[in-house]
Amino acid sequence: MKRPPGVTPPSAGPPDAEQPAGPRGTESGRRAPGRIRRSKKASTSDVEAVTEPIDIIPIAAASVPEASTGYRPLPPLPEVSLGDERDSVRDDADDSSPKPWWLTRRTDPTVEKAAEAEKNLAHAEKRRRRYERAEARRFTQATRSRRRKYLVGLGAAVVLVLVVVLTAYSPLLAVRTITVEGASRVDASAVSAALGDQLGRPLTLVDFGEVKRTLETFPLIQSYVTEARPPDTLVIRIVERRPVVTVAADGAFNLVDAAGVVVETTPARAPGYPTIDVAATPVDSAGFAAASQVLLSLSPEFLAQVDSVSAPTPDSVTLALTNGQRVVWGSAEDSALKARIIASMISNPGIPNVTEYDVSSPEAPITH
């Protein structure tokens, strides 16, 4: 092959030394000019024996016409020292050596700041959503509590209504027994028979108005109280009229209470009850009411000592005792105090030969 003009052949050197690069396409043209290749087959002694520097004459680009030769010269490559192959491997494996630009990752600081800002924004958005959920739960807790209480109250009301309805109309709580308590002069069986129309009704549907009208037909009943005893008993507690005086009428004696109602009629005078002259003190007069109030305030022991009572006016009540003594009572006011005073005066042995006690003024009692 013809050597291009202007190229001086290299000086003689070791047989293993690489020759200058020739034209592209040849075996020698695959290496850059001025690069020396050490043969792997050469020993270390052979390489060290080359102590004389090798002159490499670069090919001038201007001296090689491109048109005549058909190729362009390659740029010069950096020189490689002839060292041990192990040193080259260690140098390539050294991490402290600078890496090539295509292996170095270069990031724009603006892009890094934008990525960090986007990450911070995502965290802030997550915290904001968490805070909003917590606030929503906090502000709706009172509403949920009120709703829960409302539902509980509504449920309790519904249950109560159901219980009342079932109780009112359930045949299990129907009246099957009527019991009368407190009756001595009144016939209890007669009262129960008179209330027989209430049998079979639920306890909550008993007609108490009808019960009242029925018991008013018994004159000896002064008052009454009803009680429902589940499951099927109706109790009637009655208070009978208490006779206070005896009134003689047509050869008989009537026991009359404070309201003038005849409680009992006997052929003979009943002991323990004083008599009253209805001609002077009619039953429907204010004097009779005052006399009855005075008799009701007396103790049973002292009432047994009273033989008769008279009260032409409400302020002139007088008691006649069985031993012949008289008690001027006056009005019915302070009857409880007057009763204690007269009881102490009668039982006092230091007051002998008394025919009349005057307690019309309880602060200054008088004896005659």
> What SS3 state is found at 280?
coil
- Contact status, residue 190 vs residue 219, Cβ threshold 8 Å: no
- Could you tell me the pLDDT band of residue 255, with boundaries at 50, 70 and 90? very high
Tokens 């200058």 sit at which residue? Answer: 20
Question: What phi and psi values does residue 193 have, to the nearest 5 degrees?
Answer: -70, -35
pTM of this structure: 0.52
Helix H or strand E encompassing 46: helix 44-48
CA distance 325 to 367: 11
Over 80: is that where the pLDDT of 278 sits? yes
Most confident of 8-12, 52-56, 122-126: 122-126
What is the DSSP secondary-structure string of 82-103?
---HHHHHHHHH-TTSPPPTTT
CA distance 239 to 242: 9
Sheet strands side by side (includes 275-276):
262-266, 252-257, 243-249, 275-276, 306-310, 317-321, 326-330, 356-358, 366-367
Mean pLDDT for the chain? 78
pLDDT at 190 over 90: yes
Tokens of 196: 């027989």
Residue 361 in tokens: 């003024």
pLDDT band at 32 (very low <50, low <70, confident <90, very high): very low
Q: Is the pLDDT of residue 273 over 80?
A: yes
pLDDT tens digit sequence for 284-312 = 899 999 999 999 999 888 999 999 999 99
Q: What is the pLDDT of residue 165?
A: 80
| Strands of the sheet with 221-229, listed across from one edge | 177-181, 233-240, 221-229
**Burial class of residue 203, CB neighbours in 10 A (0-12, 13-18, 19+):** buried
User: So what's the pLDDT on residue 145?
Assistant: 83
Phi then psi dihedrals of residue 39, to 5 deg: -75, 140
Q: Which of 285, 287, 284, 262 is nearest to 273 (CA)?
A: 262
CA 153 – CA 174 distance, rounded (Å):
30
Model pLDDT, residue 355: 92
For residue 149, report the phi and psi dihedrals to the nearest 5 degrees.
Answer: -65, -40
Q: What is the pLDDT at residue 272?
A: 87
pLDDT at 15 over 50: no
Q: Report the pLDDT averaged over residues 271-278.
A: 90
How does pLDDT run across 172-188, given as a tens digit for each residue? 888 999 999 999 889 99
- Judge contact between 185 and 220, C-beta under 8 A: yes
Map tokens 């003038």 to a residue: 260
Side-chain-side CA neighbours of 310 within 13 Å: the count stands at: 10
Local confidence band at 169 (pLDDT 50, 70, 90 cut-offs)? confident
The answer to whether 225 touches 273, Cβ cutoff 8 Å, is no
Q: Which long-range contacts (CB under 8 A, 24 or more apart) does 214-221 make?
A: 215/191, 218/186, 218/190, 218/191, 218/194, 219/261, 219/262, 219/263, 220/185, 220/186, 220/263, 221/186, 221/191
pLDDT at 233 over 90: yes
- For the stretch 321-327, contacts whose Cβ atoms lie closer than 8 Å and that sit 24 or more positions apart, written own/partner, are 324/355, 325/354, 325/355, 325/356, 325/357, 326/355, 326/356, 326/357, 327/356, 327/357, 327/358, 327/359
pLDDT band for 105, please (50, 70, 90 cuts). low
Amino acid at 132: E
The pLDDT of residue 30? 46
Of 224, 225, 218, 285, residue with least CA distance to 258: 285
